[in-house]
Structures are given as structure tokens and as C-alpha cells.
Amino acid sequence: MVDTQYPGTAVQRLKAVHERVKVIAADGTLNGPWEDVRRRILWAGGLRDLPDAVPGQGYTGHSFNDWNHVDLTTMNDETTDNQNDGSVKGIAVGNRLGNGIRVASLPELGSGGSWSTCAMGCNQDPPNDVAHIQFRSRIAFKLVWVPNENYDTFVLVDDDGTLLAKGKPSDGPDALPHLRERMMNYKIMEGSKYSYAADQIANET
């Protein structure tokens, strides 16, 4: 199965991720302590929790823990070793992620790999971010912090910006990524299809 618009997408793996997201959206775990929530998001995305690995060799301690590494991308085996040729602005030329993807990806979700790629550039149309440009892949989901008073609620949205899940960690806001990280996360989405669900929730509160 091939995605003709983004042929680097591991389509079956993306579908398997969406099935896992349905599980965590319904079981209440996205409202637990932040580190437990983050581990469940990693699991749903097909990634191991490897906070002690060497960066570049499977380390996922940064995944969903800052403003930028919030795109869960499922790329096929042919594009896992793709590098940034300079097309993704603000990202290092090269940006070799292949080895880390292979180490951290859970195999039971299907062929290809998963990674928490950088969202910077996603507010352009079409998105000019690592997933869509370097890997020629759709995202399975993106984490966006809701711009309410405390930025203490998040949503997971798919490549079209459709809401898949939301959560409000029980130990927030102090245990969450720093407020400036959460605010910057929303800022890089603002005005794009990816901020729509977060905006809707903010308007309801």
C-alpha cells in the first residue's frame, strides 16, 4: 500500500498507530501523571521509552518533552536513512536519524519505523517540516498544547488536523514540559490546520 502524495509513509504502520491512539484516547491514561502519559504516547506511536540511550542511537527522552519533537512520523524502510539536504529550514543539514529509528521502533506495528520528528515548518501549506520533506511521509499524529490559561491540556491530531485524542495530565502544570516550551509548541502551529482542535478546546474553556 502506497501513499501517492507522500510515498515515504509506512501506511500500514500509520494505521496501526491510529488503532493504538484509539486505545489511549479511551482508557483514561492521558489524564494521568505526565511521564506516564508520555510513555503511553510513545507506545501508541510505536516507540520504545529509551531515556538513557545515546542521542542519535534511539534516545527518546526528548520525544514530546519539548516544543518541537512532537510529530509522530511513520516512515517506510526505504526512507528511514533519508537526510535533510537543506530543504527543511532550521534543521541541521544531514539530520541522520536512521540508526535511532531502527533501535527505538517497536516492530509489532509493521514494517518501517517511527520517530518523533521536528514540527518546525508545519504551519506552512503544504507543511515544510521533517516528516513531509525529509522523509516524504505523513505524520500519524502531532501533539499540540492547548492555549488556555495554563497550557495544561494537549491534543493529538492527525495529518489533516483532525482530533484523535486529548489529555490533561494530573500533575500539571508543574510536571509538564516548561511553560515556554508549551507556548512555543502552540505558536509554531498557530493559524494552521494543526491548531484548529486546540483552538476549539481553548474557546470552550
Strands (E), 81-193: 113-118, 139-145, 154-157, 163-167
Q: What is the pLDDT of residue 78?
A: 87
Give 87's pLDDT tier (boundaries 50, 70, 90). low
User: Whole-angstrom Cα distance, residue 145 to residue 111?
Assistant: 30
pLDDT at 82 over 70: no
Q: List, in sequence order, every residue forming a beta bridge with 94; answer none if it has no partner.
A: 84
Average pLDDT rounded to a whole number, residues 8-15: 98
Average pLDDT rounded to a whole number, residues 89-106: 75
pLDDT at 72 over 60: yes
pLDDT at 25 over 70: yes
pLDDT at 95 over 70: no
Residue-wise pLDDT tens digits, 122-181? 999 999 999 999 999 999 999 999 999 999 999 999 999 999 999 999 999 999 999 999
More reliable by pLDDT, 42 or 97? 42
pLDDT at 84 over 60: no
Q: If we measure between CA atoms, which residue out of 104, 103, 84 comes closest to residue 95?
A: 84
Q: What is the pLDDT of residue 93?
A: 46
pLDDT at 92 over 60: no
Q: What is the pLDDT of residue 91?
A: 52
Q: What is the pLDDT of residue 79?
A: 74
Average pLDDT rounded to a whole number, residues 191-198: 98
Average pLDDT rounded to a whole number, residues 68-75: 97
Q: What is the pLDDT of residue 132?
A: 97
Burial of 72 (0-12, 13-18, 19+ CB in 10 A): buried
